[in-house]
Chain A
Amino acid sequence: MTSIPINHALILAAVLFLIGAVGVTVRRNLIFVLMSVEIMLNATAVAFIAAASKWHQPDGQVFVVFILVTASAEVAVGLTLFLRIYHGWKSLDADEVSLMKG
């Protein structure tokens, strides 16, 4: 049985992370920013799983479980904050809501 070279899995993780990072910096709609952050988190999870399968240790998979927990908490709080931002500003544009009232 042949196994997948870790280089290829890490290249996939890097490409996905890059796409997510470009999305975070380029898109101005906050919903799209959060979706791009999710893609970045998934890319890091791919890197962890690749390392776990390379060294045959479960530790990498344990860290992916923690990534899942963090992502779910982050999405719940983030989306609630977006609803509040939309209620106050009537917009989800990241440039329009960049000035905070102290």
Chain B
Amino acid sequence: MNWYFYISGIVAVIAALMVVTRANAMQALLYLVTVFLAIASVFWTLGAPFLAALQIIIYAGAIMVLFVFVVMMLPERAERPRSMTWAIPAILVLVLLVQFILAVGTKGTPAGTVISSKAVGISLFTEYVIGVELASLLLLAGLIAAFHFGVLPERQEAADD
């Protein structure tokens, strides 16, 4: 079962190298989502299915949407990328999908001992409950900061008048 980990890790390293070396931001984002999916696969093979799901939902879902929106709002570097730039990320993600299907089909659990989401939740809300409170404060601060900086000054003055 070990080779699932190594294939996912190799895919993650290749995609990370491509992110750092791309010139076009949108192309780099395609590789970045591949990195996140590969790392979710690594989490799963290391016995953390709950964190793998969270990684896909939060990183590959929410954070990627933020990146894509901001890159689309910036008119910088408007040259059209060459066609078929999606091919290499598509192949990398396809590799992840095939190995995931094989891993699920052969045996229920990947290599290593699985730490259930129940154990993580109990630890999170008993030992680390202060951390959860601080995390909620941090998210509130982030929300207020994003709201504050998101309004441009002249629009703010126009709204005040």
Contact = CB atoms under 8 A, between A and B. Distances in A.
Contacts of B142: 72-74, 76-77
Contacts of A71: 58-59, 63
Given A16-B16, A72-B62, A53 B35 contact: no
A83 B71 contact: no
Contacts of B13: 12, 15-16, 19
A1 to B, nearest CB: 6
Given A53-B113, A75-B66, A46 B135 contact: no
Interface in B45-73: 45-48, 50-51, 54-55, 58-59, 62-63, 66-67, 70-71, 73
A70 B138 CA distance: 8
B115 A56 contact: yes
Main secondary structure of the interface of B (DSSP, over half): helix
Contacts, number: 188
Contacts of B59: 38, 42, 68, 71
Nearest to B122: A58
A49 B54 contact: no
Nearest to A41: B59
Interface residues of B, number: 64
Interface residues of A, number: 59
A51 B45 CA distance: 13
A69 B101 CA distance: 29
A77 B46 contact: no
Interface string A1-45: 111100011001001100110110011010110111011001001
B25 interface: yes
18 contacts: A2-B2, A12-B9, A12-B13, A19-B13, A20-B16, A31-B71, A53-B46, A62-B131, A68-B54, A69-B135, A71-B63, A72-B58, A72-B63, A76-B143, A77-B149, A79-B66, A83-B74, A83-B149
